[in-house]
């Protein structure tokens, strides 16, 4: 699940910073294990928690960090299939929902997709990056349309974490 990905991100960062073989091998083994037990490698779909947005976003973040810190693109195509699964959860109105609540900014699926799209573009995967950015644009436009009327976490206003994520997403959109 998403919470497990936080450890993977830290391991990949440690492997890159320290040049540590054990951290690198462990991070690699965790990704392999994720594809063996949690994600369908052929489709990228999370087996037990497909509707749980953070399972995708956090995993994409961890794979991106793994690539950046270890100078590899291993698992790039696999992770892109998971990105497509995340995008499949986007509703026609541009929003990502958890149950009936808009979750664009909580557990930041849009931020994860944006960062993943930039990562793909940096690795020459322009068509895949364009697909990601089309999804991100729909979400940004929905955020602009809905304003702070998102009812996330049961409240009808932006909460602290949502505000920070929203600010990051809007700031990221600014150059585009």
- Decide if 55 contacts 79 (C-beta within 8 A): no
User: In the predicted model, is pLDDT for residue 11 greater than 90?
Assistant: no
Looking at residue 88, its pLDDT comes to 95
pLDDT digits (tens, 9 = 90+) for 28-56: 999 999 999 989 999 999 998 888 888 88
Can you give the pLDDT at residue 108? 79
Torsions phi, psi of 79, nearest 5?
Answer: -65, -35
Tens of pLDDT, residue by residue over 66-97, are: 999 999 999 999 999 999 999 999 999 998 88
Output the pTM of the full model.
0.82
Spatial separation of the C-alpha atoms in residues 164 and 169, rounded to whole Å: 9
Q: What average pLDDT does this structure show over 4-26?
A: 87
């Amino acid at each position: 699940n998403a919470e497990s990905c936080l450890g993977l991100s830290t391991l990949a960062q440690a492997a890159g910073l320290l040049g540590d073989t054990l951290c690198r091998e462990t991070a690699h083994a965790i990704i392999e294990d994720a594809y063996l037990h949690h994600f369908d490698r052929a489709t990228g779909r999370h087996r037990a928690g497909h509707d749980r947005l953070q399972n995708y976003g956090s995993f994409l973040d961890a794979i991106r960090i793994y690539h950046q810190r270890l100078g590899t693109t291993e698992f790039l195509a696999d992770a892109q299939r998971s990105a497509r699964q995340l995008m499949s959860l986007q509703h026609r109105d541009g929003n990502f929902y958890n149950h009936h609540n808009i979750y664009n900014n909580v557990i930041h699926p849009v931020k994860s997709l944006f960062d993943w799209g930039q990562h793909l573009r940096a690795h020459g995967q322009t068509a895949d990056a364009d697909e990601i950015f089309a999804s991100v644009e729909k979400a940004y436009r929905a955020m602009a349309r809905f304003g702070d009327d998102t009812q996330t976490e049961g409240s009808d206003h932006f909460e602290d974490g949502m505000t920070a994520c929203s600010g990051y997403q809007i700031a990221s959109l600014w150059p585009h």
